[in-house]
Amino acid sequence: MKKKIYSLTAILIVVFLLTNCQKKSEESPITPDPPSENSIASCEGCHTNYIVLKSNYIPDPPAEGDSHGCGGEAPHYEPYDRVYLGGAGYKTFKNDVHGKLTCVTCHNGTDGTSDKAKAHSGNFLKKPSSRSDAKCATCHTEIYNRTKNSLHEQGWGQKSMLVLRSGLPNIPAGFEQLSSQLKDAYNTNCGKCHATCGDCHVNRPAAGGGGLSKGHEFIRTPDMRNVCVTCHVSRGGHAYFGQAIGTVPDVHLTNKQFTCVVCHTQTEVHGDGKIYDQRYKMGSLPKCNYCHPDGGKPNVYHQAHLNTFSCNTCHSQDYNNCGSCHIGVEGARIASYQGFKIGLNPI
CB 247 within 8 A of CB 126: no
135 Cβ contact partners less than 8 Å away, ≥ 6 residues apart: 106, 125, 128, 129
pLDDT for 3: 44
pLDDT for 139: 96
pLDDT for 73: 79
Q: What is the mean pLDDT of each run of 10 residues along the chain (347 residues)?
A: 44 39 48 83 95 93 62 86 96 96 97 96 94 96 95 92 91 93 86 86 91 96 92 85 87 95 94 93 91 85 88 82 67 63 72
Task: Say how many C-beta atoms besides its own lie within 10 A of residue 315's C-beta.
Answer: 12
Rounded Cα distance between 137 and 319, Å, is 38
DSSP 203: B
Q: Please report, for residues 75, 84, 284, the alpha-carbon distance to residue 29 in angstroms, rounded to integers and kept in the order given.
A: 10, 11, 38
